Structure 1
Amino acid sequence: MDQSEVVRLTNWAGNVTYGAVRVHRPESVEEVRRVVAGSRRVRALGSGHSFSLVADTAGDLVRLDGLPPLVEIDTARSTVTVGAGMRYAEVAAELHRNGFALPNMASLPHISVAGSCATGTHGSGDGRRCLSASVVALELVGPDGGLAELRRGDDGFPGAVVALGALGVVTRLTLDVEPAFEVAQSVRVGVPLDEVAGRFDEVFGAAYSVSAFTDWRSGEAAVWLKRRTDAPRPAWSGGRAAEGPVHPVPGMDPAFCTEQLDRPGPWHERLPHFRPDLTPSAGQELQSEWFLPREAAAEAIARVRGLAGRIAPVLHISEIRTVRGDDLWLSPAHGRDSVTLHFTWRDDPDGVLPVVGALQERLVPLGARPHWGKVSTTPASEVVGRYERAPDFARLARELDPAGKFGNSFVDALFPRA
């Protein structure tokens, strides 16, 4: 489908208007192959939840949400193969019906599997790696329209999963799964940030998945604990138990959030913060996030607190999480266990960007890597310098896409071609 004469597409937040000359919504992999083969430059678009220009293009844009729904479970191998346009909520529900689970979920179950994996999107938990780390195989359309499959163990596979769309259009992915499990979610409010920083390992090791929400100015956090019901109850119990359901953003309706108050339920109905059947906001926001070495957590928190007066006027809420390290070349958690500092900003670019710059000045010296899909002003050369396998990725991109058909301004700035 060509929408170039109908409307200019925007991302979910509305801060990016895609510059594509044509927008396609193919309904089969064969259509994707024809579009790619006939394009000079082409990019794929998932659910449009990135706040950066990672999916933008001045050429052809291929929406993947028109592809046939595919959730194919291999019980013998404990894997599931999914279509690239599928959203996590759809995949998770089908897995659960068949007695399986993904090890991790992001805050929003509304996001697409392919787009999330391509940008290194993550959930939370000391033992939980980013969503991309569950990928065991992927199928992608190359520059000539041919199909290729890469599997875990193949040369270049660790560079092909978090690939920013620069290697081809992914049409399906195969993910590790495990037996389904139950989770109970509870919230501790009024937790001093001094305790979050000073007892960091205890706080973030208290449950299967842990998130601390703060506005930085109050000096307190609300800590969300998502425990597996087959694991011991958390030993840590700072602050006080929330008396009723809460929303991460104070004053917002908790009806949008997943079940709390320590009530057990299916993994996919507790690990995300938000329910799949309700959109938590209308997109009037911006987001930034930085991954830092876990051992820098206390210092990073202290440095952000030093900017609380500047942050608060343009902030909805901030979230602190942990992510286990992985071996994916462009994963922001590559090679190190990480703490992530996430900021959901008000829709005020003029007010937000100077604060983003101030945060970067304080966090980059600690080893911060920005999330590929969030708002950042760190120069591309400085970002790439944080990834030791970046030269290997650049070589892989030249090998699989010699003419740079899958590039765009975002990718080309990171990996310029001679």
Structure 2
Amino acid sequence: MSDDKEDLELAALQRELDDAFATTRPRRGFEDELWLRMQARRPLWTRLRDVIGSTGALFRQAPAIPLGAVAVLLVVVVGAGILLNSGLRLGPTHNSYTQGAQAPGLALSDAGKLPTPALHPGLVPAPAANGPSLSSGFALDQSNLYFGPATLRWTGQMPLQSVQAPVYRYAEPSASLADEFAASVGASSDKQVRSGSGFLGTYRGQAFVLTVQPTEPQLPLEPYFNLAPTSPVSTGGADSRGAAATFLGGYSLVPSWPNEVTVQQANGHVLVQYSRAFQLPDGGVVFLINWIGQRYGAGVDISNGAIIAASGPLPLNLDATTYRLISNDDAVRVALASAPASTQTIQPVPTVDLKTVELVYALAVSHGEGFYEPAYLFSGTFSYNGQTYTKRVLVPLVDPTLRS
């Protein structure tokens, strides 16, 4: 009797299980999601074959479709498959006198490995062919800078947050681009004068001479222009900043990229400088430094109350790409272990406390391209024979495995 009761209970339990499994279904959309996952794991050419087969079936049902449309559709399908499987990412561009957005984050950009920015003390730019240049004189005074061997200690405080900053790239401009720039400031093409001294072009406009120079990789220095009036232009008693802005505005050369205007004076000579900066994704700005760690950009040279020259970077399109950057702690370790940028020596070797650090952009050049790269500029001072010197150390922030 007990066996019959157990059999009845087992039969009832079996019916309940059968009913449960019969009414159980996957969640809504699960079957479609599973199908897509299975398709995504299939090889590209298998998926492409199925698409072409389905397309062929469609054409058999609708023979009136033109063959030209078939060819276009196949090109689109094949091209899309290649792009999706190549991992290629296209980044935006912007003009160097404006500021654009950055491309999606990449560990290694399509540009390949980057050159490494470095300080190059003791070098000066090539002289301008048409008169004074902003790159000469006290603007590049290195008398109080020291780049030789030193015992370094870090006694400052690093920023709390890690850096998020893209790399900006430009391609070396051609002579035709220099011609276009010259025309934009009023130097017509029939007045240009070619020279064999390494310039992209020399031009004459109404009461001014213009030179456009290519990248100087040994510094490095990006392509830039130098515009000099044939006769000094009086400031008319206006303040230096206002006179400089008016002069640049007359040629549509007032920088539109982020900048800071400073005025330096010495012995009747005035330099109005527009220090160039790049805008970060978080809205902050980071200044560009030259080969000795000083800010630079565009500027106007004034002597004895008259404008004698203006210069600045040539407007170029820039590609923005994100590379993997090192941490702040790693940057400190690199700074303390860095080799001196110069063979200049002081005996005994000075001990320098690096107390300040600034996020900057520095230019590096390779194979006809220039790269504005984020870096930390460490600095500290020390005294020697009654004079105070500044020691600067530049640490590139792009991961070393991504640099050549």
- TM-score relative to the length of structure 1: 0.23
From the two aligned structures, give the one with the greater strand fraction: 2
- TM-score relative to the length of structure 2: 0.24
Q: Which has the higher contact order (CA 8 A, sep 6+)?
A: 2
Between structure 1 and structure 2, the one with the greater Rg is 2
